[in-house]
A and B are shown apart, each in its own frame.
Chain A
Amino acid sequence: MKIEEYQERKVTVDGWDVNLTSYRLGGQWHAKADNVSPGATLCRTTGASREEAEGRALKRAEELLDRTHRHKV
């Protein structure tokens, strides 16, 4: 079994840089969103297409990033 059509791209979600990784494994698409700095995994999702898996990952990432509070320095 091999990963196919591996792809990474950077997007901005709620003002935060997010790295979005997606690929196909067997008949299912997988996506992962991580915050670019520091690179922590935010969520992993699946879908019947790349768009569906990525869409779910972005939605979940948005929910999580929305909770991040910026403090005055």
Chain B
Amino acid sequence: MAEYAHPEALVSTDWVSRHSGDPKVRVVEVDVDTKAYNEAHVPGAIAWAWNTQLCDTVRRDILSQQLFEALMSASGVAPDTTLVIYGDNNNWFAAWAFWQAKIYRHQDVRLMNGGRKKWLAEGRDVSTDVPHVSPAEYHAQAADLSLRAFLPQVQKAAAEHSAALVDVRSPQEFTGEILAPPGLPETCQRGGHIPGARSIPWGKACNDDGSFKTADELRALYGHQGIDGSKPIIAYCRIGERSSHTWFVLKYLLGFENVTNYDGSWTEWGNLVGAPVAKGAAA
């Protein structure tokens, strides 16, 4: 069985249970909101709210370097801290946090394989205590924008077929049958997908227990759709958090070099005047 390209980017639930109290380890839960954290969490973990603490709340953007530094400092994270992130929905919001930590070049950041779901299902200890955190000194490095795709790059890639576009939303969002995940607000004017994109829903990368599939299974999943790392890859979803999960899989588990997350995603593309849109299943 092949190894993940970067196994150091993952830790097991067992590892977390043994190391969550280490002074150089900070465990953070990131969910769709903080209700789950308040209910119970990994002992010693703190929480980040992805919609207020992991984005610019005025303009639509990721954290600025200054805001990222402030979050790390307040969270007691120093540049040499091992940052372990986990969350619900098989880590999709945790992956969003991981992606931003890598944009600001935090050296040692890892996902807890299986996330909140696996931890709970295994019957491990949980807590409702919010730990006291002493602020740390944190200076981030300049953003690594090679991890992020902006609209002009995506438009160029779609027009020139210069990158593989991976749409990680559900098949029904891809075809245009629905404009948002079932039960969630519609945030775009048009349904469908970027012409030329391949449909590979993010969740196919996970086992039932929330952990990632093996490297061989993942290579087969993406390779079957022609996603083999031979050309640049751009992952997108609706608002960029599901695609950060796929970005993690492609870059850290399969080791593809040139992978970007288009966080503008369908909420941007599906609202653009005059943008080309494809409907129905992939050609």
Assess whether A30 is in contact with B183, with CB atoms less than 8 Å apart. Answer: no
Nearest B residue to A64 via CB reads B183
Query: Which residues of chain B have C-beta atoms less than 8 A from A32's C-beta?
Result: 36
Q: Which of A25, A40, A41, A70 contacts B178 (CB 8 A)?
A: A70
Q: How far is the CB of B132 from chain A (nearest CB, A)?
A: 19
B126 and A3 form a contact (CB under 8 A): yes
Contact A39 B36 (CB under 8 A): no
* Complex partner residue of A35 from B39, B175, B181, CB under 8 angstroms: B181
Residues of A within 8 Å of B242, CB to CB, are 38
- Chain B residues within an 8 Å CB radius of A69: 178-179, 186
Q: Are A30 and B39 in contact (CB under 8 A)?
A: yes
Contact of A44 among B35, B127, B173 (CB under 8 A): B35
Assess A40 versus B184: contact at CB under 8 Å? Given A1-B127, A1-B128, A71-B191.
yes
A34, B176: Cβ atoms under 8 Å?
A: no
Give residues 198-256 of B contacting A (CB, 8 Å). 201-203, 242
Instruction: Report which residue of A23, A38, A69 has the largest number of chain B beta carbons within 10 angstroms of its beta carbon.
Output: A38
Q: How far is the CB of B211 from chain A (nearest CB, A)?
A: 14
Q: Give the contact-size bracket for chain B.
A: 35 or more
Contact A73 B177, beta carbon cutoff 8 Å: yes
**From residue 8 to 47 of chain A, which have CB atoms closer than 8 A to chain B?**
8, 16, 21, 23, 25, 30, 32, 34-35, 37-42, 44
A34 touches B120 (CB 8 A): no
Of B68-76, B106-114, B164-172, the stretch lying at the interface with chain A is B164-172
Contact of B176 with A68 in the complex, beta carbons under 8 Å? no
A-contacting residues, B129-145, CB 8 Å: none
Known A-B contacts A6-B123, A23-B120; the reply to A41 vs B89 at CB < 8 A is: yes
Alpha-carbon separation in the docked complex, A43 to B181 (Å): 14
Partner of B183, one of A2, A16, A44: A16
Pick the 3 closest A-B CB pairs, nearest first. A64-B183, A37-B170, A35-B182
Given contacts A35-B182, A40-B184, A41-B89, 18 further A-B contacts (CB under 8 A): A2-B124, A4-B123, A8-B121, A25-B39, A25-B126, A37-B170, A37-B203, A39-B92, A39-B202, A40-B32, A40-B89, A41-B36, A41-B88, A44-B35, A65-B182, A68-B180, A69-B178, A69-B186
- Could you list 18 A-B pairs, sorted by A, with CB under 8 Å? A1-B40, A1-B125, A3-B121, A30-B39, A32-B36, A34-B89, A35-B182, A37-B171, A37-B172, A37-B203, A38-B169, A38-B242, A44-B35, A67-B183, A73-B176, A73-B177, A73-B191, A73-B280
